[in-house]
């Protein structure tokens, strides 16, 4: 899909000198597209599925100070219902009186059901390069995978849900830091790239529907699964901002906004990213 | 026949009311985003705290999605132009080779870049085509290939280039480009090197 955008960009480009780079970029994209096609034909070759399996085992194993599993965790469709739950997240949870994305909700369940200390779990929640995704991320991958093939169907029509989507849109456009960057700096127009990396136009539902459903995704460059919360953390890093906390209202707002943009898009998690 | 104006008026009224309805967008209370951002980075070291607050230009550009009204644009341009510090020796052209190196480097100011072990980069290639040799360039900004040649290496353009890199909003209010000088991302000498990369007749940008 992105390859097609790229092709259109090539057609519309006026500078002859750019052609070499576009051709090279197109080759890379072509190779990745071929890899994605192979994954579709043989889904078990996606390394991210190992983490999804690990997440399932963690989900079902009695753990934490209370030594219980997460099988009674309510992801929004009732306690114990995992299938299809991710497709309706983020959503407002009455028990927590806030809107939560999948990772924040699992964290909540780990604290409420298993007795873990959430403050400890958000201290270093993301893996370094080459390290496997952490336990929370593995479980998020499992939960997302249980909605794979479904379409994003979060209604986001409750008052608190509407508020947080609007907040997410404002944060998406908020410029900050020494570079004056906002999410919108890179993700508010079609067919742009950083170096050779294509940038999805995330405020456009057409493009958001194509890419948001691939998260959590196995990232070839860092050789691990990266979750959506990790993705936000990494973008803020690049924006020269400090470490955004997993489960913070800002992170949930951005995810809610992106999910709203992707409404109706197909979930194919874990996806595969460069 | 006599009914027709009435029908048109009714249709117009209906259209107007749906337009108003469609515009009834969920609003975010003033100050909410600031508070949420302050709370989102609880482990931020002291030196990062100023980054959580927006200055007036950031606020105006964010609110208008980088499309300010003429009045606001003029205000931004005036304010940002006033931030520009010029080289003490009056020379705008540095060393294009150093300019090429900083155009390649994206190092600096990320939370993993402390304590700093080398100078900040400008990361110009992330967004711009510059020299012909470097094929890995981004397209967020315009191509700068043959930048000086296309301007006949004019002295006024050398100065304008310095000003644009020092503070892009002084040339284009709400530009996406960082304010490299005003925000102390690059030093005056580094900006001169970047100017040389673009404006020196012997720079590969203009030679190849």
Question: How many helices (DSSP H) and strands (DSSP E) are in chain A?
Answer: 11, 7
Note whether A20 contacts B135, CB cutoff 8 Å: yes
**Residue in A195, A243, A249 closest to B137 by CB:** A195
> How confident is the model at residue B89, as a pLDDT?
95
> How confident is the model at residue A41, as a pLDDT?
78
Shared domain check, B101 and B199? yes
Structural domain containing residue B7: 3-63
Q: Mean per-residue pLDDT for B167-180?
A: 98
For residue B128, tell me if it sits in a domain: yes
Q: Mean per-residue pLDDT for A121-126?
A: 96
- Provide the mean pLDDT of chain A: 90
For residue B89, tell me if it sits in a domain: no
Q: Distance between CA A216 and CA A154 in Å, rounded? A: 17
Which residue stretches of chain B are H helix? 3-23, 32-40, 56-63, 70-81, 96-104, 147-150, 155-166, 188-199, 204-207
For residue B80, tell me if it sits in a domain: no
User: Which pTM was predicted?
Assistant: 0.89
For residue B199, tell me if it sits in a domain: yes
SS3 content of chain B, % helix, strand, coil (to 5): 50, 0, 50
Shared domain check, B100 and B200? yes
Q: Mean per-residue pLDDT for A24-44?
A: 72
Position A24 pLDDT exceeds 60: no
Give the position of tokens 């909700």.
A105
Angle, CA B72 vertex, CA B68 and CA B76 arms, to 5°: 100
- Of B63, B87, B112, the last residue of a domain is B63
Shared domain check, B101 and B198? yes
For residue B85, tell me if it sits in a domain: no
Q: Distance between CA A216 and CA A83 in Å, rounded? A: 16
* pLDDT band, very low/low/confident/very high, at A86 (cuts 50, 70, 90): very high
Residues B205 and B144: beta-carbon distance below 8 Å = yes
- Provide the mean pLDDT of chain B: 92
> How confident is the model at residue B108, as a pLDDT?
98
Shared domain check, B167 and B112? yes
**Residue in A176, A192, A243 closest to B111 by CB:** A243
Q: pLDDT digit string (tens) for A195-245?
A: 998 999 999 999 999 999 999 999 988 999 999 999 999 999 999 999 999
Size of interface A-B (CB pairs under 8 A): 143
For residue B82, tell me if it sits in a domain: no
Shared domain check, B120 and B32? no
Shared domain check, B166 and B102? yes
Q: Which residue of A has its CA nearest to B50?
A: A177
* pLDDT band, very low/low/confident/very high, at A2 (cuts 50, 70, 90): very low
Shared domain check, B137 and B190? yes
A109 counts as catalytic: no
> What ranges make up the beta strands (E) of chain A?
91-93, 98-100, 192-194, 197-199, 217-219, 224-226, 271-273
Q: Distance between CA A229 and CA A215 in Å, rounded? A: 10
Q: Which residue of B has its CA nearest to A188?
A: B65
For residue B191, give the CATH number of its domain.
1.10.760.10
Return the structure tokens found at A66.
């209370």
- Smallest CA-to-CA distance from A47 within A266, A270, A209, A196 is with A270
> How confident is the model at residue B11, as a pLDDT?
53
Q: Mean per-residue pLDDT for A84-102?
A: 98
Shared domain check, B176 and B126? yes
Q: How far is residue A165 CA from its own chain's centroid?
A: 16
> How confident is the model at residue B8, as a pLDDT?
53
> How confident is the model at residue B24, as a pLDDT?
64
Shared domain check, B201 and B100? yes
The verdict on A121 touching B (C-beta cutoff 8 Å) is: no
Shared domain check, B150 and B49? no
Residue B86, classified by CB atoms within 10 Å of its CB into exposed (0-12), middle (13-18) or buried (19+), is middle
How many domains in chain B?
2
Residues A95 and A182: beta-carbon distance below 8 Å = no
Q: Mean per-residue pLDDT for B5-9?
A: 53
Shared domain check, B40 and B118? no
Using a CB-CB distance cutoff of 8 angstroms, which residues of chain B are in contact with residue A177?
51, 109
For residue B59, tell me if it sits in a domain: yes
Q: pLDDT digit string (tens) for B113-146?
A: 999 999 999 999 999 999 999 999 999 999 999 9
Shared domain check, B59 and B100? no
To the nearest whole Å, the CA of A242 is away from the closest chain B CA by 5
For residue B73, tell me if it sits in a domain: no
Position A18 pLDDT exceeds 60: no
Which residue stretches of B2-120 are H helix? 3-23, 32-40, 56-63, 70-81, 96-104
Q: Which residue of A has its CA nearest to B208?
A: A17
> How confident is the model at residue A111, as a pLDDT?
98
Contacts of A86 (CB under 8 A, 6+ apart): A75, A102, A143, A144, A146, A147, A267, A269
């Amino acid at each position: 899909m992105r390859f097609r955008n790229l092709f259109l960009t090539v057609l519309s480009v006026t500078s002859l000198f750019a052609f070499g780079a576009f051709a090279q970029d197109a080759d890379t994209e072509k190779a990745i597209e071929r890899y994605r096609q192979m994954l579709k034909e043989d889904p078990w070759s996606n390394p991210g599925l190992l983490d999804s399996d690990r997440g399932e085992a963690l989900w079902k194993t009695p753990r934490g100070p209370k030594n219980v599993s997460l099988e009674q965790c309510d992801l929004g469709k009732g306690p114990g219902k995992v299938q299809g739950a991710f497709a309706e997240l983020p959503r407002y949870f009455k028990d927590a009186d806030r809107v939560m994305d999948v990772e924040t909700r699992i964290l909540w369940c780990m604290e409420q059901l298993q007795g873990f200390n959430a403050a400890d779990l958000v201290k270093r929640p993301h893996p370094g390069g080459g390290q496997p995704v952490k336990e929370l991320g593995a479980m998020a991958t499992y939960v997302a995978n249980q909605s794979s093939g479904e379409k994003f169907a979060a209604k986001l029509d409750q008052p608190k849900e509407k508020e947080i989507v609007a907040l997410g849109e404002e944060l998406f456009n908020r410029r900050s830091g020494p570079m004056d960057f906002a999410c919108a700096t890179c993700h508010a127009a079609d067919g742009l790239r950083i170096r050779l990396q294509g940038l999805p136009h995330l405020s456009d539902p057409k493009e958001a529907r194509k890419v948001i459903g691939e998260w959590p995704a196995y990232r070839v460059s860092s050789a691990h699964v990266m979750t959506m919360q990790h993705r936000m953390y990494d973008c803020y890093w690049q924006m020269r901002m400090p470490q955004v906390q997993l489960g913070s209202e800002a992170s949930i707002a951005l995810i809610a906004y992106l999910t709203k943009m992707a409404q109706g898009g197909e979930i194919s998690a874990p996806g595969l990213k460069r | 026949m006599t009914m027709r104006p009435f029908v048109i008026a009714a249709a117009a009224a209906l259209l107007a009311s749906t337009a108003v309805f469609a515009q009834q967008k969920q609003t975010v209370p003033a100050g909410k985003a600031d508070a949420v951002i302050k709370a989102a980075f609880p482990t931020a070291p002291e030196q990062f705290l100023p980054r959580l607050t927006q200055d007036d230009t950031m606020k105006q550009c964010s609110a208008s999605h980088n499309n300010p009204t003429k009045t606001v644009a003029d205000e931004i341009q005036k304010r940002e132009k006033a931030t520009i510090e010029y080289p003490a020796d009056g020379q705008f052209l540095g060393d294009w080779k150093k300019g090429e190196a900083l155009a390649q480097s994206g190092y600096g100011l990320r939370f993993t870049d402390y304590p700093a072990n080398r100078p900040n980069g400008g990361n110009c290639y992330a967004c711009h085509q510059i020299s012909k040799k470097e094929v890995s360039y981004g397209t967020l900004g315009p191509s700068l290939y043959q930048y000086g040649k296309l301007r006949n290496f004019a002295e006024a353009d050398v100065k304008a280039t310095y000003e644009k890199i020092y503070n892009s909003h002084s040339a284009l209010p709400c530009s996406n480009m960082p304010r490299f000088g005003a925000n102390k991302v690059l030093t005056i000498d580094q900006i001169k090197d970047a100017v040389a990369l673009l404006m020196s007749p012997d720079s590969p940008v203009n030679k190849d």
